Structure 1
Amino acid sequence: MILYSQFWRVDASRTYGISGTALDWELDWTAPREHLVEESRTWSLLEASEAPAGDNVFVAPTWIDRTDLYLER
């Protein structure tokens, strides 16, 4: 599952962060796992469809990590 994505542009050998889709989504961590996976997939696909595009633009997704599931650790 993707937690969030960052968008970057490379120009003249420099890298700049750029605005993404401005979709403000957050997962309900109290929901069942199946719901979390489905919601994450849905939002990630929507974000990808509205993402900035160009030969010099790339996305850096941040994937879920086991520590994201157990915040008290």
Structure 2
Amino acid sequence: MVLYSQFWQVDAGGTYGVSGPGLDWELDWTAPWEHLVEESRTWSLLEASEAPTVDNIFVAPTWIDRTDLYLER
């Protein structure tokens, strides 16, 4: 499940964080895992479709899986 994405621009001077699409979304952490995954996927796809499209920009997603959320399983 994708938690968030960061956008980076690389040029001769280095690597710099850049603004992404600025979507403000938050998950309901009390929801079942399957719902969290579905919501995260929906928002991540929307974020990807709105992401900057310059050649020297790349995205670094941060994700977790079920075991990160439910350690006892």
Same fold (TM over 0.5): yes
Paired with 2:62 and 2:39, the residues of 1 have a C-alpha distance of 16
Which runs of no fewer than 5 residues in structure 2 stay unpaired? none
Deviation at 1:14, TM superposition (A): 0.6
The alignment's TM-score, normalised by the length of structure 1, stands at 0.86
2:4 corresponds in structure 1 to 4
Q: What stretches of structure 1 move > 6 A for 4+ residues in a row? A: none
Paired with 2:63 and 2:37, the residues of 1 have a C-alpha distance of 12
Q: What SS does the corresponding residue of 1:21 show, helix, strand or coil?
A: coil
**Would you say 1:46 and 2:46 are equivalent positions?**
yes
Aligned-residue Cα RMSD (Å) equals: 1.5
- 2:4 corresponds to which letter in structure 1? Y
Q: What SS does the corresponding residue of 1:34 show, helix, strand or coil?
A: helix
1:28 corresponds in structure 2 to 28
Paired with 1:19 and 1:13, the residues of 2 have a C-alpha distance of 18
Which runs of no fewer than 5 residues in structure 1 stay unpaired? none
Deviation at 1:11, TM superposition (A): 1.3
Deviation at 1:20, TM superposition (A): 0.5
In the alignment of these two chains, the number of paired residues is 70
Give percent identity, aligned residues only: 81
**Would you say 1:57 and 2:57 are equivalent positions?**
yes
The alignment's TM-score, normalised by the length of structure 2, stands at 0.86
Q: What SS does the corresponding residue of 2:4 show, helix, strand or coil?
A: strand
